[in-house]
Structure 1
Amino acid sequence: MSDPSPTRRGGRLRRACDLCQQKKIRCDNGKPECENCRLSGYHCTVTRRSPPIRSNTKERLAEAKSRIRELEELIIAQKDLQIPCHGDGSASSFGSLSSGYLEDPHDVGTTLAMFQMHIALCGVGAAGSAERYSFCSLIHQRTGCDFDVDRFLQGLPNASGIPNSRDPGKTTSQKWPSQLLVQTCIHQFVKTGLYSVFPIANVEVLQTLLNQHILDHKTQRAHIADLACLIAFTALVTELHRLEPAFSDTDPDCYLRAALSLLPRLLMEAANLRTLETFTIIVTYLLPIGHTRTADSLLAVAVRILYSLGGNRYSVIREAEGGHLRAIFWHCYSLDKELAIRFGRPPLINDIDCDLRLPDNYISSWSHDHFFHRPLSSRILLYTSDLRLALIKSKIYALLYSDHGRAQPEARRLQYIRELDEELNDLKSSFPASCWPDVFATGDAPDYTFHDLSLRGVNLHLEYYFCLGKIHGASNAYSLTSPHSWSFLPSSAELFYQESRTMLLYISRIRQFLNWHTYWIHAQFILTAVVSLFRYLITSPKAHTFIRDLEILENTAETFSDLDRESRATRRFAPFFFTSCFTRKLIFLAKQSLRQASGG
């Protein structure tokens, strides 16, 4: 062989030739060539290879310590959020942000879960609950049909034909807004007077923070609340003004996910007013897109911070940013009381612990600004709903739906119902006569009456009817399991069912306000009215209003069928289809009750 002989066992060099190694066969190390090479006719060679470098234990330990130091430095860098500022369209790495999960509000599976939650709150009850059993038992008794609500709802996605295009990456993608975009949002917020409706961000302070370039990764580590507040604020403004040319290329959901990813660290820091603003802004963003339970949980955090900062006391207005803190208090108060009567849960804010004097710059009740489009001014507070209505909602829950209220004698509860009905009517009477809900909620109301109506005006009308239904609906044994216990006092029964009719008639007249951006705001109002009127139909199939009430339900189903067809031109929104199908199913069951009552 041409190379030195390989080693043999016992410490001597021994190595197979190249051919034997390639074929993975035993080499006899013969000289000048091994037997395998000789028989194959190959030149026998042995390629010398450098022995592996073996480090001793001390060297390996030093290498491990060095690697640990590198990893520690990387973790510190992540915690310091040294993230390059980038434009909206860039795809910069967000490795230093924890995952901010936010489900796609258009995903079929997500919207079905939201729809099921709302159905459960509308008199149908959750799966396995006594209320669900009562609902299904009543249907079986009155129609002879078995209605498995969950099975029916689970079949709707397939029936819709909408592909389930859930993209895991889309639910976690985040974007860090640019300095220019945040500046544009501040300018838009001031120019449009949005503080009047959403007094949840002090733009003067935000402008100061932006001028300090806290979004710039080259600056010193900033307070997390300052960063989170700027990002959440950007998400909300770009969502509210998504149709503005300046925001056409923005992605509000991605900005919100970036803000959500900061919440774990935000909770670990000492809370201040920016912390409160961050949580309040996120709650305000989540509620209209259907993430109601998540928003409710985050609202609980905001309320705790609100108490710790003294926002429940009127005297706080004498402190720095005290007036702004009180403005946030009333925003949270209004949201809390709304969710309390929707969910039937105890409110987070206890009235007895709060000074409930309305803000001095709150708009007067007789103003048309509550209902019609008017230029907004940041000097006057309008809010998303009437604060006086929020106070009534608080009383509705406390007196009629709390454990204490339910335990009261029937005579006392009926007294509360009369008093609350009178108080709600007094509030309605304080509005300009041309703005009363009754003016709009008729089938023959002229179209021009709806021309200048604002979304806030629509919400106020629907909230009024919802509260009216909650007041008079409390006079029945709503929580009892027996289907025979669905009984009212005659006056309350008439008002309750009339409220359901009126609500649905009103819905049929405001189609221009119904879209995927507003659906979840109104969903519980609509579905509650549908279920309530359906109950009346199957329990009173011989009533003289049966045909008219059935037509109201059919018109409601057709309204959402039309909305579903129209949404196909852009991006189809599954809850329109769900609402139409659910309503049509109830119509079918109502007709069955009529046949059974007629002996057919």
Structure 2
Amino acid sequence: MRVTNYLGAVAARQIFMLGANLRQIRTSPVSERSQKRQNHLRNLFWICYTLDKDIALRTGQPPVIVDENCDLTMPEGYTERAFSDPEKDDNPSAEPIFPFDLRLSMIKSRTQSHLYSVSAMQKSDADLLKSIRELDDELEEWRLSVPPQWRPTMSFSQETSDPNMSMHSVMLRVNYYLCMSVIHQASSRCKAWMQGSGMMDGVSSSLALSVEASRSTLCYLGAAEHVLVEGVFWTLIFYPMSALLTIFCSILQNPLDPRSRDDLDHLKMATVMMARIFSRNLPETEVEHLKLVADFVTELKRLAECAIDKAWREQSASSHVAS
């Protein structure tokens, strides 16, 4: 992680030195070569920006690129071309497809800043829940702006269909569900709830959305298994692991919840699913990593099952004593 942060800092410094963080406002005609150079620099900036915000959200570390030091005006015509499918688009002059939707990357940036930065950790319960609501509104506004054929559903289950499944739609969906999960998971920091003052309705519903987004991640990856390209281990592994940990924590928090057994099944199926997805033509050097992941998920499943069984035994014993 230190190496990643260091390389990110070096790349960001170079981007800023080249002025790529700013959009050049043309006051006079420029040569075609100068225009191509500026467009290329801006594309490099957006690639660094999206990766930086994603890494910050994954690791919990501060981003290297600060929004206040950048012009975040999107490329001209971006929203019209943002959802062209690189697997089907044979137009070589099409707008480059960035690692993530730029607007979603901006939401990731504000999520880290408003919910997980040092200053955000000091927010009162009311301010924290306000930030969560505002970010949730932004995320929903983004979702509704996505063309219907690509638009992620708020929840995905085995009964849900997606006729446009491709690696493009997979990355779109898992990043949407990740943002939903991370935004609402922050509600668990509410001091009133942490101090045992009871589960407030706002916190309860927010945490439920986080868990549902995690369930949707696993269900969608399982349904999209046939479109996943080979060699996606390091690209995708974070998403199911983040979802599994959220579901695991939910089981520990509410082992008697009616859906806990179903969530336990999600943990069981995830082990098989990930082995099937990620083991295809996996290089020998990566096999050990996959084995570590499988062992970890198996242990999560065992601990979750123990928590559920223990909670039911205690409830049964209490009921027996009361009668």
Question: Is the structural similarity TM-score above 0.5?
Answer: yes
| Alpha carbons 2:167, 2:229 under 8 Å: kept | no
Q: Residues 196-221 of structure 1, C-alpha deviation per residue, up to 9 Å, x if partnerless? A: xxxxxxxxxxxxxxxxxxxxxxxxxx
Q: Aligned in 2, Cα 1:410/1:353: closer, same or farther, shift over 3 Å?
A: same
Distance in 2, Cα, partners of 1:586 & 1:483? 26
| Alpha carbons 2:260, 2:308 under 8 Å: kept | no
Q: Aligned in 2, Cα 1:561/1:358: closer, same or farther, shift over 3 Å?
A: closer
| Alpha carbons 1:337, 1:390 under 8 Å: kept | yes
Query: In structure 1, the residue corresponding to 2:313 is in which secondary structure?
Result: coil
Q: Residues 296-324 of structure 1, C-alpha deviation per residue, up to 9 Å, x if partnerless? A: 32121111111112111112776831221
Give the Å deviation of 1:569.
10
- Which residue of the other structure, out of 130, 144, 149, is the alignment partner of 1:429? 144
Give the Å deviation of 1:461.
0.9
| Alpha carbons 1:371, 1:458 under 8 Å: kept | no
RCO (CA 8 Å, sep 6+): is it higher in 1 or 2? 1
Q: Aligned in 2, Cα 1:374/1:515: closer, same or farther, shift over 3 Å?
A: closer
Distance in 2, Cα, partners of 1:541 & 1:374? 47
| Alpha carbons 2:214, 2:244 under 8 Å: kept | yes
| Alpha carbons 1:370, 1:456 under 8 Å: kept | yes
1:403 aligned onto 2:118? yes
Q: Residues 33-63 of structure 1, C-alpha deviation per residue, up to 9 Å, x if partnerless? A: xxxxxxxxxxxxxxxxxxxxxxxxxxxxxxx
Distance in 2, Cα, partners of 1:391 & 1:336? 11
Give the Å deviation of 1:381.
3.2
RMSD of aligned Cα (Å): 3.0
Q: Aligned in 2, Cα 1:478/1:582: closer, same or farther, shift over 3 Å?
A: farther
Query: In structure 2, the residue corresponding to 1:495 is in which secondary structure?
Result: helix
| Alpha carbons 2:181, 2:209 under 8 Å: kept | yes
In structure 1, the partner of 2:177 is 465
In structure 1, the partner of 2:11 is 302
The percent of aligned pairs where both chains have the same amino acid is 28
1:344 aligned onto 2:60? yes
Aligned ranges for residues 85-484 of structure 1 at < 5 Å? 293-315=2-24, 320=34, 321-364=37-80, 368-369=83-84, 373-438=88-153, 441-446=156-161, 449=162, 452-477=164-189
Give the Å deviation of 1:387.
0.4
In structure 1, the partner of 2:246 is 532
Give the Å deviation of 1:379.
4.2
Give the Å deviation of 1:377.
3.0
Distance in 2, Cα, partners of 1:574 & 1:483? 41
Equivalent position amino acid for 1:305 in 2:
Q
Aligned ranges for residues 501-580 of structure 1 at < 5 Å? 501-512=215-226, 517-563=231-277, 566-567=280-281, 573-580=287-294
Q: Aligned in 2, Cα 1:564/1:359: closer, same or farther, shift over 3 Å?
A: closer
Q: Aligned in 2, Cα 1:523/1:301: closer, same or farther, shift over 3 Å?
A: same
Equivalent position amino acid for 1:455 in 2:
M
Equivalent position amino acid for 2:130 in 1:
Q
Distance in 1, Cα, partners of 2:66 & 2:150? 31
TM-score by length of 2: 0.83
Gaps of 5+ in 2: 315-323
The count of residues paired between Structure 1 and Structure 2 equals: 303
Distance in 1, Cα, partners of 2:49 & 2:43? 10
Query: In structure 1, the residue corresponding to 2:208 is in which secondary structure?
Result: helix
Equivalent position amino acid for 1:504 in 2:
L
Give the Å deviation of 1:599.
2.3
| Alpha carbons 1:310, 1:316 under 8 Å: kept | no
Q: Aligned in 2, Cα 1:378/1:298: closer, same or farther, shift over 3 Å?
A: farther
Query: In structure 2, the residue corresponding to 1:574 is in which secondary structure?
Result: helix
Give the Å deviation of 1:457.
2.2
Distance in 2, Cα, partners of 1:330 & 1:374? 21
Distance in 2, Cα, partners of 1:357 & 1:476? 34
- Comparing both structures, which one devotes a greater share of its residues to helix? 2
Equivalent position amino acid for 1:557 in 2:
T
Q: Residues 492-526 of structure 1, C-alpha deviation per residue, up to 9 Å, x if partnerless? A: 11101111111111121222355662111222221
TM superposition outliers: structure 1 runs of 4+ over 4 Å: 316-319, 482-488, 513-516, 563-572
